[in-house]
């Protein structure tokens, strides 16, 4: 059986998918920022007829076509659209692979007779995709290189054994070679693929590199070029249909436990852990109730996950009964097997993760925060505040120097009473409308501002910090700026309080 390959190209995939969601009239372009300039990424047909082309500067495109409508390009959405088309193209072949950012290649050997022939298969492909608003061109040939070259220059079908004659009239750029190689061939008068077919390979390789010879031989079938489709990402979802509708919370939780056992088993096979799960409860009246939870860290423990669903399940209105359940882990992360260090350590870490999960599902995972150490001597920069669910605890580095207070707040003015010894904390002062008398003081700890940060609060220069214990029981962290006058009314500030 002869090998047959189908090449599909979507020259306006990004713009077509964007216009399907939000149609516009007239010239349209997607703009992508590369470096310090905006460039045209993809156009619709109306913009191309105005003389615009991909890669040109966005400013030039707007100058040529003032009525041009633009949107920012979304490369991730474009890649997702091509991945979806690859899966859909499985109706024509079990072996479909991506071919660059805007194309697909499929091995259709032994398949066309199911559609009535190659022409009928190609017509069915075009009819279905054009119906949903996608622009495409396609070609069928016995080699991958020939099919790709023909698809990018009009499309069509090359009979068996006609690859050499079919691509001879195409430009040399159709061989998927670099623009510099194509320009070098043009300077020598070699503009068509047919001009290269009968030339000796050794001089071509010496002059233009082995890549040109490889692409030419692949297009002619002298060198193999297999189709290697990537594996589909695993799907982590399970479903259960009830023999009779259920409505009790206990019955729903029992069904959820069975679904979790199956789902966690699948996750374990792929060394994955769930981060977000969605439970869909399909009712008899065709309505669907959903319960979604998040997890503070990847997990595949059915019992611990089920406990987090209990509150949401108790609030579901069953109506006339639930006839089907579906559980999907739509966000997962790597969770490889790990050595169990000790039962107490593991239990403590699991309990903390469950606490973060419960609080995150109630308050939002961005609202549950933890402190992480930072390498800075500046009090307000000596720690980082990050969401606990998206960060790992870090031990504090060994502290060298005087103790720091447990509570740190923005500097607050301290009003001194009477004169004191210069360079030492005041004997009596007022803070937060309370009077204090200094019992003992320890210091100073001199902290210099970080010159690489322009912090307005530290523009006054050096600070001398003192640990002050008062007769009233308060233990405060006061500082004084040496550059300031010795005893004005408000030259001392409080920035922390010891426990």
> What is the arithmetic mean of pLDDT over 54-77?
92
> What is the arithmetic mean of pLDDT over 240-261?
94
Distance CA 33, CA 36 (A): 7
User: How many CA atoms lie within 13 Å of 466's alpha carbon, on the beta-carbon side?
Assistant: 21
Averaged pLDDT of the chain:
89
Q: Report the sign of the C-alpha dihedral through residues 253, 259, 263, 265, in that order.
A: positive
Distance CA 75, CA 53 (A): 18
Local confidence band at 396 (pLDDT 50, 70, 90 cut-offs) = confident
CB contact at 8 A, 257 and 265: no
**What pLDDT score does 259 carry?**
96
**What pLDDT score does 399 carry?**
67
Pick from 372, 368, 394, 385: nearest CA to 296: 368
Distance CA 44, CA 487 (A): 73
Per-residue model confidence as pLDDT tens digits over 189-235: 999 999 999 899 898 899 999 999 999 999 998 888 888 887 777 88
Residues paired with residue 147 on neighbouring β-strands, in sequence order:
none
CB contact at 8 A, 13 and 34: no
**What pLDDT score does 337 carry?**
78
Q: Is residue 320 over pLDDT 60?
A: yes
- For residue 444, give Cα distances in angstroms to 350, 395, 401, 460, 484: 43, 27, 11, 17, 16
> What is the arithmetic mean of pLDDT over 100-114?
92
Per-residue model confidence as pLDDT tens digits over 427-442: 899 999 999 999 999 9
Q: Is residue 263 over pLDDT 90?
A: yes
- For residue 463, give Cα distances in angstroms to 375, 421, 444, 493, 494: 18, 17, 9, 10, 12
């Amino acid at each position: 059986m002869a090998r047959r390959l189908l090449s599909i190209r979507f020259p306006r995939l990004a713009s077509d998918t964007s216009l399907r969601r939000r149609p516009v009239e007239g010239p349209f372009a997607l703009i992508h920022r590369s470096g310090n300039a905006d460039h045209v990424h993809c156009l619709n047909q109306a913009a191309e007829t105005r003389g615009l082309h991909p890669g040109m500067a966005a400013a030039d495109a707007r100058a040529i076509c003032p009525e041009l409508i633009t949107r920012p390009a979304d490369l991730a959405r474009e890649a997702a659209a091509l991945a979806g088309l690859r899966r859909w193209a499985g109706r024509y072949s079990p072996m479909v692979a991506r071919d660059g950012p805007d194309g697909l290649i499929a091995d259709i050997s032994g398949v066309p007779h199911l559609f009535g022939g190659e022409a009928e298969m190609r017509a069915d492909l075009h009819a279905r995709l054009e119906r949903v608003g996608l622009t495409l061109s396609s070609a069928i040939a016995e080699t991958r290189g020939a099919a790709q070259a023909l698809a990018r220059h009009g499309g069509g079908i090359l009979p068996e054994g006609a690859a050499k004659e079919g691509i001879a009239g195409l430009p040399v750029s159709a061989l998927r070679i670099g623009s510099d190689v194509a320009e070098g061939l043009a300077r020598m008068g070699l503009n068509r693929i047919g001009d290269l077919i009968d030339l000796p390979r050794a001089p071509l390789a010496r002059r233009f590199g082995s890549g040109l010879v490889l692409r030419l031989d692949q297009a002619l079938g002298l060198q193999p070029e297999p189709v290697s489709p990537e594996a589909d990402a695993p799907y982590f979802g399970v479903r259960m249909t009830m023999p009779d509708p259920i409505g009790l919370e206990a019955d729903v939780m029992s069904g959820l436990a069975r679904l979790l056992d199956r789902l966690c088993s699948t996750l374990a096979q792929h060394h994955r852990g769930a981060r977000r799960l969605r439970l869909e409860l399909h009712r008899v009246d065709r309505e669907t109730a959903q319960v979604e939870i998040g997890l503070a860290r990847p997990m595949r423990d059915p019992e611990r996950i089920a406990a987090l669903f209990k509150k949401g399940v108790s609030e579901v209105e069953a109506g006339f009964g639930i006839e089907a359940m579906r559980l999907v882990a739509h966000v997962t992360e790597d969770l490889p097997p790990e050595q169990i260090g000790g039962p107490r350590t593991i239990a403590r870490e699991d309990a903390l993760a469950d606490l973060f999960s419960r609080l995150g599902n109630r308050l939002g995972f961005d609202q549950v925060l933890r402190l992480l150490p930072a390498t800075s001597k500046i009090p307000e920069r000596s720690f980082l505040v990050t969401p606990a669910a998206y960060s790992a605890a870090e031990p504090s580095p060994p502290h060298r120097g005087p103790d720091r207070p447990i509570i740190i707040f923005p500097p607050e003015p301290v009003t001194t009473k009477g004169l004191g010894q210069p360079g030492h904390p005041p004997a009596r002062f007022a803070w937060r409308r309370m009077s204090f008398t200094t019992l003992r003081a320890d210091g100073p700890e001199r902290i210099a501002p970080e010159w690489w940060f322009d912090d307005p609060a530290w523009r006054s220069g050096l600070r001398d910090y003192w640990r002050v214990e008062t007769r009233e029981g308060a233990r405060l962290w006061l500082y004084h700026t040496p550059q300031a006058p010795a005893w004005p009314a408000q030259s001392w500030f409080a920035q922390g309080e010891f426990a």
